């Protein structure tokens, strides 16, 4: 025979690797050379496959659990598989419809949309669904309103442009009557609309020193609200559903200690939320540079959190109006159907973004009721 084209050799190797990963994902059993020879349709004998496999192992794409076993992908193997995915598996159009139905174009609050989304991600993927909500601190305000609750109590309500609603009960140091409250409200909205909570904070702290005489109470109020804002800048809110199913499927963990540290991470949320925030920042930068929002996959040990080393994370960004504001995705076994999951996540990102557009668009027509 003539010299084998090295290009063809590479190509063959790639095909084998892909076949191994694909099938390992489905069967969760180590893949043997004979099976590949028989079923992969490469027209090669098992012996040839074996030599290819051993090369792939040397290059770090595969490992053997033990000598007399088939091959299993390493993180690197999965990585290759994901990077060179061909025939991307789209969501079935039935599924799309199912999902779409959940997002009838009804006016909904951001938080409700997000909570719902994380559930949906979880149920469709059979993994954990997660959504990182926008940092409320940075969002522009639409309204800041005070509602009297009797006595010196008021409920401070903030509605952001993206449709997030936050509220804190306050105890003022004076008892405002209705007229006063109204005046306060007007004043606040005139001066604060469009500002971010962060800005509001500094404005309240500084500028209001010079408020008109008759607005003296404002200072008291400002002081109270400031305190609340400070403590109430909630840790970035994370919607997480389906965590239990991830734990339930975690047989493959070597150690029970590993399971428990995973549980801790999933329960405390703080660490997870920080990690996702970091991830969001990265994808934000990438999007600025590259244009369209992309789906990112972190496989096993690629995750910054060691507790997630047996899991993979698939994420994308979503926007409210025209700004990227948050991250959503799924967290599941390394043995997930990457193609489908990536499609799912991408699709959900688009859907969520679209359903959050509504808040910045001018209103029209009657509200639509959803059918049960």
| Residue 288 or 369 having the CB closest to its own copies | 369
What does 325 bind: its own copies, DNA, none (CB cut-off 5 to 8 Å by kind)?
none
Reading the block at residue 186, the tokens are: 């007007």
CA distance 211 to 31: 75
| Residue 67 or 87 having the CB closest to DNA | 67
| Residue 66 or 288 having the CB closest to DNA | 66
Question: By rule CB under 7 A, what count of residues binds DNA?
Answer: 29
**Residue closest to 133 by CA, chosen among 37, 273, 14:** 273
Least distance in Å: CB of 216 to its own copies? 16
What does 50 bind: DNA, its own copies, none (CB cut-off 5 to 8 Å by kind)?
DNA
Strand partners, 308: none
With CB under 8 A as the contact rule, the residue among 183, 203, 215, 259 that binds its own copies is 259
Give percent helix, percent strand, percent coil of the chain, each to the nearest 5: 55, 15, 30
23 is an interface residue for DNA by CB under 7 A: no
With CB under 7 A as the contact rule, the residue among 4, 179, 289, 361 that binds DNA is 4
CA distance 353 to 347: 10
Reading the block at residue 368, the tokens are: 């639509």
H or E, element range at 328: strand 323-333
312 is an interface residue for DNA by CB under 7 A: no
- 309 φ, ψ (degrees, to nearest 5): -70, -15
Site for its own copies in 168-207 (CB under 8 A): 168-171, 173, 182
Burial of 153 (0-12, 13-18, 19+ CB in 10 A): middle
34 is an interface residue for DNA by CB under 7 A: yes
Check: CB of residue 162 under 8 Å from CB of residue 321.
yes
| Positions in the binding site for its own copies (CB under 8 A) | 107-109, 122, 142-143, 145, 147-153, 155, 157, 159, 163, 165, 167-171, 173, 182, 224, 227, 231, 241-248, 259-260, 263, 266-267, 362-363, 365-367, 369-370, 372
């Amino acid at each position: 025979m003539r010299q084998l084209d090295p290009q063809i050799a590479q190509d063959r190797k790639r095909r084998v690797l892909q076949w191994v990963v694909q099938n390992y994902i489905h069967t969760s059993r180590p893949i043997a050379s004979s099976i590949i020879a028989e079923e992969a349709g490469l027209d090669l004998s098992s012996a040839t496959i074996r030599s290819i496999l051993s090369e792939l192992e040397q290059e770090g794409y595969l490992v053997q659990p033990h000598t007399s076993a088939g091959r299993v992908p390493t993180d690197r193997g999965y990585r290759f598989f994901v990077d060179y995915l061909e025939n991307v598996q789209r969501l079935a159009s039935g599924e799309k419809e199912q999902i779409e139905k959940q997002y009838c174009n009804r006016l909904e609050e951001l938080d409700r949309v997000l909570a719902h989304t994380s559930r949906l991600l979880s149920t469709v993927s059979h993994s954990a669904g997660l959504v990182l909500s926008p940092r409320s601190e940075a969002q522009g305000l639409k309204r800041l309103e005070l509602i009297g609750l009797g006595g010196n109590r008021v409920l401070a309500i903030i509605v952001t442009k993206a449709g997030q609603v936050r509220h804190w009960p306050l105890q003022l140091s004076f008892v405002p009557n209705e007229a006063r409250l109204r005046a306060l409200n007007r004043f606040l909205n005139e001066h604060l609309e469009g500002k971010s909570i962060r800005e509001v904070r500094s404005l309240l702290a500084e500028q209001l020193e010079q408020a008109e005489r008759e607005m003296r109470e404002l200072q008291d109020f400002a002081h109270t609200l400031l305190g609340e804002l400070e403590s109430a800048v909630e840790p970035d809110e994370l919607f997480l559903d389906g965590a239990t199913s991830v734990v339930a499927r975690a047989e493959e963990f070597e150690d029970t200690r590993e399971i428990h540290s995973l549980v801790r991470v999933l329960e405390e949320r703080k660490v997870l939320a920080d990690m996702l925030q970091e991830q969001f920042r990265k994808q934000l930068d990438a999007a600025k540079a590259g244009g369209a929002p992309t789906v990112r996959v972190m496989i096993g040990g690629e995750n910054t959190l060691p507790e997630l080393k047996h899991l993979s994370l698939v994420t994308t960004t979503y926007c409210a109006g025209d700004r990227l504001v948050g991250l959503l995705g799924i967290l599941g076994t390394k043995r997930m159907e990457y193609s489908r999951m990536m499609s799912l996540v991408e699709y959900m990102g688009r859907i969520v973004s679209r359903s959050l557009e509504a808040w910045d668009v001018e209103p029209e027509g009657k509200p639509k009721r959803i059918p049960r």
